[in-house]
Amino acid sequence: MRTWFQFSKPWDETLRTFRWSYQPDEVATHLIEYFPELEAWWRSKQAGPHVFIWPTQIKQPYQQ
């Protein structure tokens, strides 16, 4: 699932199902299904197929 916490579907799934958005019960089902993966991330920062963090660059203030 590429759109967590959103109702919009990925384009390929929209084409396959002819529906632009998920139904609320579909969103709840996905969240419940992926919850153990989320708990694993909070416990050990272990990335999974649906839960991951993109590294960000923190800009340091300009120093002379």
Which domain covers residue 38, as residue numbers?
Answer: 1-64
> Structurally, how many domains does the chain consist of?
1
Phi, psi of 49 (to 5 degrees): -65, -20
Q: Which amino acid is at 19?
A: R
Which comes out higher in pLDDT, residue 60 or 23?
A: 23
* pLDDT score, position 10: 80
Taking only the tens place, the pLDDT of each residue in 8-55 is 778 888 889 888 888 888 888 888 998 898 888 889 888 888 777 766
- Longest distance between any two alpha carbons in the chain, whole Å: 57
* pLDDT score, position 1: 46
Looking at residue 52, what DSSP letter applies? -
Which comes out higher in pLDDT, residue 7 or 53?
A: 53
